[in-house]
Structure 1
Amino acid sequence: MNRLALVLAVIAGLLAGALGYALLDRPQPETDAVAVRAIVEAVLAERAPEPAPVAPAIDAATLNPMIEDFLMSDPKLLQRLSVALDETLRVEEQEQARLAMADFRKAIYEAPGQVVLGNPDGDVTLVEFFDYNCGYCRTALPDLAALLAEDPNLKVILKEFPILSNESIDAARIAVLVGESDADYWAFHEALFSSRGKVDKAAALAAAQELGLSPVDLELRMGEPRVASVIQNSYEIAQALGITGTPTYIIGNEVIPGAIGLDGLRARIADMRECGESRCS
């Protein structure tokens, strides 16, 4: 007789015996239940699988040579892992940036005081964060000039992002005021990036004066909270999107750090028109 049948027989016997008891001789209600429970638990305990054996720990003196031998058997493994890690991090950063851009969309594209060049109703928008003392921004200026000249449907938004020095902040404050005026901002922009030496308040005021603006008036107004809020807007966007250097571009849902050259910008603009993404799959 197997154990299950034995348990059933015992239960049946207990129940039959219980029916024959006199009322005064009947045991406490829990007595039979306790007995049955004990038998069932004993059977289940015997049926329970044996716990999996715990593998003995491997000491470092044994494990380390094994790892080294494995890696040396395929020297390019670490390179592939590094590439895979970089790609994983890039995808994660892009996803974080995409979510942040959804939250900051209005601040990126509709902030008051920002400079808009090209076609304000263009079908593709290119955003650039720059610092007037950034050498790479200076190098990338001809790329932006070429795009504006050749693409009548491109909208460009310039974000003052002075991060390199206090002189950069002063120049950016003057630039905000120039952008609000009727003066030719692009001429001012080119003048500062083509000037020699560090771009500071004096250089910005001189460039503005060449456009017919009063340097005295600009200097008096450059400390206004409204001017500071324009630059603060750039800082807040940069913090949310992880922008830490200049130039940095935004196109579609992609944050592009560094000067990627005219062809790189053209390719992304073309992809935006073709598939609505900065990089068509």
Structure 2
Amino acid sequence: MNRLSIVLAATAGLLAGALGYSLLNQPEPQTDAVAVRAIVEQVLSEQAALAAVSASVSPAPVETAAIDPAVLNPMIEQYLLSDPKVLQRVSSALEVTLRQEETARTETAMAEFKDRIFNAPDQIILGNPDGDVTLVEFFDYNCGYCRAALPDMAALLAEDPNLKVVLKEFPILSNESIDAARVGVLVGASDADYWDFHQALFTSRGKVDKDVALAAAQSLGLSPAELEAQMNDPTVAQTIQGSYEIAQALGITGTPTYIIGNEIIPGAIGVDELRARIADMRACGQSQCS
């Protein structure tokens, strides 16, 4: 610290003290120019003494040799060649670390979005609304794997009276999927049987679009004209946006994707695997008992 800095620091200290007294509504101690000069001279004297002592005891700087890559790189290469399994161990350790980090992120997101995943007021519920196990599915009406997995869901709903199923419209494959999902949201909010609508779309031929969805809704007694007029309602967009937000937080990028407990299950894993997960949830409160 140079002499000017010390003077400024001493002066700032005096000003800070005066300001503190002012804020506390206390009488400010009086300090005249002579007193200030005396304080500054004392600080300078003490600083000079400390500098002298420091110079006498400070060790000499340690010189370090520069690392020459031309020397170091062959040494590293030779070490790795002498034990190639080092890379395998590093790769395995990295994989474990990344998996643990991903698990931690998923657990945090699941906790944050729990109500929106399992209890959103605008979601479609099939099976037993008060079931002891909840199975969530994110789907797209133009997803071939979702179509193939439809019998799995039908079997579970038919055989398990205590299963609650939550369906999340997640149109990610095309604009036609978005239009069909908009109609699906409206059907889900109506008194029509959504499961019949759901099956009709997944068993239809060709691409599922607005016309296919409106025709399926009409077969259930709903007005296609009224539904089409409501497709762009903000509440419809909000429901679909809610699925997008959950998917982004949980890292869901494809369909079908299931959620049971705290486990995110990508892909159509088959009815037997789903049964096993549901049974484990009942047995130990986890989708896979240890």
TM-score by length of 2: 0.73
Counterpart in the other structure of 1:81: 90
User: Please, which runs of 5 or more residues in structure 1 have no aligned partner?
Assistant: 1-32
Please say if 1:163 is aligned against 2:172.
yes
1:6-27 CA-to-partner distances (Å, cap 9, x unmatched) read: xxxxxxxxxxxxxxxxxxxxxx
Contact 1:178-1:208 at 8 Å conserved across structures: yes
- Counterpart Cα distance in 1 of 2:268 and 2:61: 60
Match of 1:202 among 205, 211, 230: 211
Going from structure 1 to structure 2, the CA distance change for 1:145 and 1:225 (only over 3 Å counts) comes to: same
SS in 1 for 2:258: strand
Please say if 1:280 is aligned against 2:289.
yes
Contact 1:192-1:199 at 8 Å conserved across structures: yes
Contact 1:98-1:254 at 8 Å conserved across structures: no
Counterpart in the other structure of 1:10: none
Going from structure 1 to structure 2, the CA distance change for 1:105 and 1:69 (only over 3 Å counts) comes to: same
- Counterpart Cα distance in 1 of 2:167 and 2:65: 62
Going from structure 1 to structure 2, the CA distance change for 1:235 and 1:70 (only over 3 Å counts) comes to: same
Provide the aligned C-alpha RMSD in A.
3.0
Please say if 1:187 is aligned against 2:223.
no
- Choose between structure 1 and 2 for higher RCO, CA contacts under 8 A separated by at least 6 residues: 1
Going from structure 1 to structure 2, the CA distance change for 1:38 and 1:85 (only over 3 Å counts) comes to: closer
1:221-245 CA-to-partner distances (Å, cap 9, x unmatched) read: 2221221221111112122222222
| Number of positions where the alignment pairs a residue of Structure 1 with one of Structure 2 | 248
- Counterpart Cα distance in 2 of 1:113 and 1:201: 21
Identity of aligned residues (%): 71
Going from structure 1 to structure 2, the CA distance change for 1:197 and 1:52 (only over 3 Å counts) comes to: farther
Please say if 1:65 is aligned against 2:44.
no
Q: How does 1:143-154 map to 2 (within 5 A)?
A: 143-154=152-163
Match of 2:221 among 212, 225, 229: 212
Going from structure 1 to structure 2, the CA distance change for 1:85 and 1:113 (only over 3 Å counts) comes to: same
SS in 1 for 2:135: strand
- Counterpart Cα distance in 2 of 1:85 and 1:37: 50
1:174-212 CA-to-partner distances (Å, cap 9, x unmatched) read: 111111222221221122122222111011112222223
- Counterpart Cα distance in 1 of 2:64 and 2:104: 41
User: Please, which runs of 5 or more residues in structure 2 have no aligned partner?
Assistant: 1-45
Q: Partner amino acid for 1:167? A: E
Q: Partner amino acid for 1:229? A: Q
Q: How does 1:22-101 map to 2 (within 5 A)?
A: 45=57, 54=64, 56-59=66-69, 61-101=70-110
What's the offset of the Cα at 1:74?
4.2
Q: Partner amino acid for 2:109? A: A
TM-score by length of 1: 0.76
Q: How does 1:219-238 map to 2 (within 5 A)?
A: 219-238=228-247
Structure 1 residues 157-166 or 248-257, which shifts more?
248-257
Contact 1:94-1:254 at 8 Å conserved across structures: no
Structure 1 residues 121-130 or 186-195, which shifts more?
186-195
What's the offset of the Cα at 1:76?
4.6
